[in-house]
Chain A
Amino acid sequence: MLESDFQERNRFFLNMGPQHPSTHGVLLIVLEMSGEYVLDPQPVLGFIHRMHEKMAESRPCQSFMPNTARMDYVCALPYNHGYVSLIERKAGIEVPRRAEYIRVITSELNRIASHLLWLGAYLLDLGAFTPILYGFDDREHILDILEDITGSRLTYCYYRFGGVSRDIDDKFVDATRAFIKRLRKRFVIYEKLVTKNIIFIKRAENIGIVSPDMAIRYGITGPNLRGSGIAYDVRKNEPYSVYPEFDFEIPVGEQGDCLDRYMVRVREMEQSLRIIEQALDRLPEGPVRGKVPKNIKLSPGDCNFAVEAARGELSYYLVGDGTGVPYRLKIRVPSYSNLSCLPELGRGILLPDLVSILGSFDLVIPEMDR
């Protein structure tokens, strides 16, 4: 009775404010704390809401392409992929096989870049200042490879309805193969510096355990779900594009703590390298753009398309009304559901543990607020 009495008298509110080094973006978390323990974290969103869905309702569907990259700028190509595949499914456009292979290769490269950035940022939150720079060094090679064919470094507008906008050449293939070899050697460095480090293990093991039941209740997807033991990946369970032709595994964790989520992402990077290798070996010849009608009319009715972004399942839902302008476009982003389990997960934990949990969830706030 004495302890709860003490807790009652010593409660205070702390704003892990919109400007904070550890919330990745503009996210406000209102913490009700007692001493060092967090009693009730409540996230507050909406600081970077830019009305992307409204923009989609006021312009023809071709004009939405640049917006898709701006929602999640760290891993923009799967967002591109989801949108063009949605319109192709709705309007019945065929995509040539070479274009599908190029889409898979570039999406997987982007997934590796996103995971490298996540690794650096997570360790920066925990207080290690060097792995982020090693990650950015590796990421620089990916960005150079992608800049050569798409023309941009971060917000790509590369996919078009019916294919991709520019073909790849030998330079791209050689650079990608050299990069794969280099990255496999760099994984050893990350293993020695981070994964085996006892201080890091103590900060991440048994912290923020998400049980499979809690994950399903909140709709968590992506590496967070796979860390809890459920092997659900959109590329295997609801295959799209040419993913069924590749042979790759889905890494799964056991417990659902931060260390499991970390290991799932590191092993996913290796699996992405496998996919890229197989795709480069089997790259077919052919055109890179299919036939697209001049004015795309979206027939009345709805349509849905889901892809696996770096953070989870991303799905677009479109309602057409016969014109070229969508009646409603709803984007289901993975970070929104991933964050929603924080009030239940963060009850009674220490403040540094909250930072570790937020880092291991890999949230990108602009995609949450769209």
Chain B
Amino acid sequence: MKQYFSEIYTGGKSLVEGLGVTLTALFQPLVTVQYPREEIDITPNYRGHIDLVLDPEKNTFLCISCGMCEKSCPSDCIKVQGKKMEGEKKKTLALFELDFTKCSLCGTCVEVCPKDALEFSQEYNLAAFSREAFHFDILKRLEERRT
């Protein structure tokens, strides 16, 4: 009998306390952001898809088309091709394609590159209508960024 009443008392008190928590939360400031209208800054260490690094002095890429990134990628999504130009001893980069639909953002290619020629971009809101839009031509993106 005593348990009946004590249960009613503790139960009722817990319910009122719970209601107090939500009432205080009702008047506290919001924690969300209206996404398309306002945006938050993301950290510079965010892993978007990879991009070639633009060397500021020589105004070109640092890649020597050794193909280490292509060999070490777990998902086989990088394609690198070098072409031997006339009058030069080494190959220059002619084609650098990334199939982003398969990339898992593991970072192996960035670490394994001997010249540190790859970096992560900060693109996080990508959307397209077809799969082909995500087959990025990284060399063309570098050409567009060149001053």
Instruction: List A residues at the B interface (Cβ < 8 Å).
Output: 59, 62-66, 70, 130, 134, 137, 140, 144, 147-152, 155, 157, 160, 165-166, 189, 192-193, 196-199
Considering the complex of A and B, which 6 residue pairs feature the smallest CB-CB distances, nearest first?
A: A63-B74, A151-B47, A198-B11, A66-B104, A157-B106, A66-B106
Contact A165 B18, beta carbon cutoff 8 Å? no
Instruction: Given A65-B74, A189-B21, decide whether A147 and B43 contact each other with a Cβ distance below 8 A.
Output: yes
Q: Is the interface of A mostly helix, strand, loop or mixed?
A: helix
Q: How far is the CB of B111 from chain A (nearest CB, A)?
A: 7
In the complex, whether B136 has a CB less than 8 A from a CB of chain A is no
Closest A residue to B45 by CB, please name it.
A151
State the CA gap A148–B104 with chains docked (Å): 18
Residues of B within 8 A of A64 (CB): 74
Residues of B within 8 A of A62 (CB): 72, 74, 108
State the CA gap A64–B106 with chains docked (Å): 10
State the CA gap A193–B16 with chains docked (Å): 10
Instruction: List B residues at the A interface (Cβ < 8 Å).
Output: 7, 10-11, 14-15, 17-18, 20-22, 25, 31, 42-43, 45-47, 72, 74-75, 104-108, 111, 120
Contact A151 B106, beta carbon cutoff 8 Å? no
19 chain-A/chain-B pairs, Cβ below 8 angstroms: A62-B72, A65-B108, A137-B31, A151-B105, A151-B107, A151-B120, A152-B47, A152-B105, A157-B105, A165-B111, A166-B45, A192-B20, A193-B22, A196-B14, A196-B18, A197-B14, A197-B15, A198-B10, A199-B15
Instruction: Given A64-B74, A137-B31, A151-B120, decide whether A192 and B104 contact each other with a Cβ distance below 8 A.
Output: no
State the CA gap A189–B46 with chains docked (Å): 32
Q: How far is the CB of B8 from chain A (nearest CB, A)?
A: 9
Residues of A within 8 A of B14 (CB): 196-198
Q: Select one of A70, A149, A166, A198 contacting B15, CB under 8 A.
A: A198
Instruction: Given A137-B31, A151-B120, decide whether A65 and B106 contact each other with a Cβ distance below 8 A.
Output: yes
Residues of B within 8 A of A192 (CB): 17-18, 20-21
